[in-house]
Structure 1
Amino acid sequence: MTEELHHALAAPCKSCPYRKDVPSGVWTEDEYGKLPAYDGSPAEQFMQGGSALFLCHQRNNALCSGWLGCHGPDNLVALRLHHQHVKPEVFDYETDVPLFASGAEAATHGMRDIERPSEAAHRVMGRLLGKEGIRTR
């Protein structure tokens, strides 16, 4: 049986924690806590636990396109370590969707309203909860 390779979506999902237009407080603290591990040099990423591929919260077998766009495929140690499990076109990924400059910046934004999410955040969570297997809060 042939392994299906991970791929990138054309654009980050509308609930992606790396997107600047996604309301704060949509995802759990644990999910936001994963984002900063991919900041820094490859050695720093490895030491911070950023050696695993970061998968999309919504699409099976897809890499998080926000993760790819924020950090850049050339800067991710996880892609270097797991290149044999990733489609080659992932290494050329770019997006024009406005993303945070780092995982730490995305996590800070996401955590800001986690105790009292806005109505907009609740709408995003409602859409996500309608999809099977998605854990937001």
Structure 2
Amino acid sequence: MDIADGAAGLVATRNDPDTGPGGRVSQAFQLLELAERALVSAVIYERKRGSSWTEISSEEYEKLRRYDADTPDQPLRQFQCHQSDAGGDSRRICADWAGCHNAEHLLGLRLAVLDGRIDTTYQAAVNYQSPVPLFTSGGEAADHGQKGIDAPVDEDRRKIHKITQTRQDLQ
């Protein structure tokens, strides 16, 4: 099924007597799943047309800032770990993301529980204590990540190489 056709089919434009309580929420989650697939395809497309990782990653850092907002104004999804494949079975929540925020107030975590995408992971994220100091906010982490993004130092290049060798979806 084409992503656009799938999304169009999930948009409520009339009263639907076949959709019971909570049905629209379930459909909205399906739409988010389609959007995630579209995002992965867009990244692959951008790389094939010559966009740099700098151009693409800048948006990833900007996402971090939005999780500092009040709970209702935050993104609807968890922030995934950059060390594991985006769509793979091994993907996981970013520990630094959960650790630098009050995880109980992360909308993406709450919705993932309601949708059944996570269960015990929620409590693990809420109780997470990092063994190392973390940034105090998503904005602070984004500022750090974006600093020098156009001219990475050797250590950053090694980390980028390691991640791209580990993740199958970036090769």
**What is the TM-score when the length of structure 2 is the normalising length?**
0.55
Out of 11, 34, 38, the position equivalent to 2:63 is: 34
Task: Give the Cα separation in 2 of the matches to 1:28 and 1:129.
Answer: 13
- Percent of paired sites with the same residue: 33
1:85 and 2:120 are equivalent in the alignment: no
Task: Give the Cα separation in 2 of the matches to 1:133 and 1:33.
Answer: 24
Number of equivalent positions: 106
One-letter amino acid of the counterpart of residue 118, structure 1? V
The answer to which structure has the higher helix fraction is 2
2:79 counterpart SS class: coil
1:33 counterpart SS class: helix
Q: Which consecutive aligned stretches of 4+ in structure 1 deviate over 6 angstroms post-superposition?
A: none
Task: Give the Cα separation in 2 of the matches to 1:113 and 1:121.
Answer: 10
Task: Give the Cα separation in 1 of the matches to 2:71 and 2:102.
Answer: 12
Task: Give the Cα separation in 2 of the matches to 1:66 and 1:134.
Answer: 22
One-letter amino acid of the counterpart of residue 165, structure 2? G
1:107-127 per-residue CA deviation (whole Å, 9 max, x = no partner) reads 111111011111111111121
User: What is the 5 A alignment of 1:69-80?
Assistant: 69-80=99-110
One-letter amino acid of the counterpart of residue 29, structure 1? S
Task: Give the Cα separation in 2 of the matches to 1:105 and 1:57.
Answer: 17
Shift of 1:29: 1.0
Shift of 1:51: 1.3
Out of 40, 45, 61, the position equivalent to 2:91 is: 61
Task: Please give the root-mean-square deviation of Cα atoms over the aligned residues, in Å.
Answer: 2.0
Listed as ranges, the gaps of 5+ residues in structure 1 are 1-24
Task: Give the Cα separation in 2 of the matches to 1:116 and 1:96.
Answer: 29
1:58-116 per-residue CA deviation (whole Å, 9 max, x = no partner) reads 23231111111011311201111121322323232222321111111111111110111
Listed as ranges, the gaps of 5+ residues in structure 2 are 1-53, 85-89
**Highest relative contact order (Cα 8 Å, sep 6+), 1 or 2?**
1
Based on CA coordinates, which of the two structures has the bigger radius of gyration? 2
Shift of 1:134: 5.4
**What is the TM-score when the length of structure 1 is the normalising length?**
0.68
1:85 counterpart SS class: coil
One-letter amino acid of the counterpart of residue 40, structure 1? A
Task: Give the match for residue 9 of structure 1.
Answer: none
